[in-house]
Homo-oligomer: A and B are copies of this chain.
Amino acid sequence: MPQISEKGKAAPASPIRKLVPYADEAKKKGRKVYHLNIGQPDIATPETMLNAIHNYPDKVIEYSHSAGNISYRKKLVEYYSRYNIHLTPDDIIVTTGGSEAILFAFQSCLNPGDSIIIPEPFYANYIGFAVNAGIKIVPIPSSIESGFALPPIADFEKTIIQNVNKGVLKGIMVCNPNNPTGYLYSKAELETLRDIALKYDLYLFADEVYREFCYDGKQHFSVMQLEGLEQHAILFDSVSKRYSACGVRVGCLISKNKEVMAAAMKFAQARLSPPSLGQVAAEAAVDTPEDYFTDVVKEYTLRRNIVADAINKMEGAFCPKPAGAFYIVARLPIDNGDTFCRWLLEEFEYNNQTVMMAPASGFYSDPKFGTDEVRISYVLNAEDLHAAMEVLAVALKQYPGRKK
């Protein structure tokens, strides 16, 4: 039998999905499982998108242009201008979700063996994309005590100098607002990153798929707004979270760097076309009324407060109250997040209910970090979140591996 590849062995299983069999078992026992583990919002997809699907006009569902329909790219230019991001359609390649944008960028910018710096904890699937491209992620730790703010500039420079000297460091990547921490990077932090990127001639990759999800009156600031960084900034975006339409699989890769875009375009042509149905929905979505987002932000602020306030009342537990996305990383008084999350599904119940969370270890470059942390997605409604927090509080009292 032929052997599988080294990459096939090295790719990590999803930390978000690996507990699914235990959740299935719990449900078979008749237990209500509150899913705090997933990034699939319960918010309705806007009518604009559903109507576009229901009224799909064509008789043949054809390939689109490999870079995406020009009509959609023009609408995206309009969308980004609302955020003071000034683009032309040529700066945009429509991709199959944000994931494909990351894959295209890694393939186009980085050689196997190259490395990029990412503040950790970071979105677990970045590891899979890095394995795919044969590159290495060099983590710089951010701390729960500082709310997972950008690590001190000194940490970056130390790590950069070590790796630049080896000739392999090619970029820095941030997720803003952050998955899993919810941290919203400030304009000043991004300007710091710009200065580093320019000083050491590094790409600055930014995953901004949670752009709309900013709370407490804070504004999102994009890498594409950084002056002087036009040749270094690479933006990954997606409509999945923005319009609660994860299944349309429409994202985009954005850069003013024409060489990068020309290279990415060759990979885009090889796979022919992003999804046509999704693009029709995504194009219509740009005309979604502004109050859709006002309502969504209000709802997520409420949910975040429910979770953060409840966690911080639990003895020995702590979490920041992040200003973006819909995730919270919480430190719990437990021996091990993996064990705890599995115990919740396999052994625990409270009034025939339990909760499912993502152990935070999967969001660190080395699973020995974040062992007493979990990621909570607040994608359930307020009532369910209250109930889930009650369940979690009881569970923490009963858990045999509770820290004294």
Contact A247 B202 (CB under 8 A): no
Q: Is A291 in the interface zone, CB < 8 Å from B? A: no
Q: Can you name the residue of chain B whose Cβ is closest to the Cβ of A125?
A: B270
CA distance A311 to B49 in the complex (A): 47
A4 partner, pick from B59, B99, B259, B274, beta carbons under 8 A: B259
Given contacts A53-B53, A108-B8, contact A128 B270 (CB under 8 A): yes
Q: Can you name the residue of chain B whose Cβ is closest to the Cβ of A271?
A: B99
Chain A contact residues, majority secondary structure:
loop
Q: Is A168 in the interface zone, CB < 8 Å from B? A: no
CA distance A346 to B98 in the complex (A): 38
Given contacts A270-B132, A273-B249, contact A108 B278 (CB under 8 A): no
Q: Is A272 in the interface zone, CB < 8 Å from B? A: yes
CA distance A379 to B1 in the complex (A): 40
Of the listed residues A50, A99, A266, the one surrounded by the most CB atoms of chain B closer than 10 A to its CB is A266
CA distance A281 to B276 in the complex (A): 12
Q: Can you name the residue of chain B whose Cβ is closest to the Cβ of A249?
A: B275
Chain B residues whose CB sits within 8 angstroms of the CB of A97 once the complex forms: 271-273
Contact A61 B1 (CB under 8 A): no
Instruction: List CB contacts (< 8 Å) of A189-243 with chain B.
Output: 201-203, 231-232, 240
CA distance A44 to B60 in the complex (A): 5
Chain B residues whose CB sits within 8 angstroms of the CB of A103 once the complex forms: 271
Given contacts A201-B1, A249-B249, contact A66 B266 (CB under 8 A): no
28 contacts between A and B (CB under 8 A): A2-B202, A2-B231, A4-B108, A4-B109, A5-B114, A5-B263, A8-B108, A8-B260, A8-B266, A14-B270, A40-B63, A42-B60, A44-B59, A45-B58, A50-B56, A61-B281, A62-B246, A63-B246, A63-B247, A96-B249, A99-B270, A99-B271, A112-B112, A125-B270, A125-B272, A128-B270, A247-B276, A248-B276
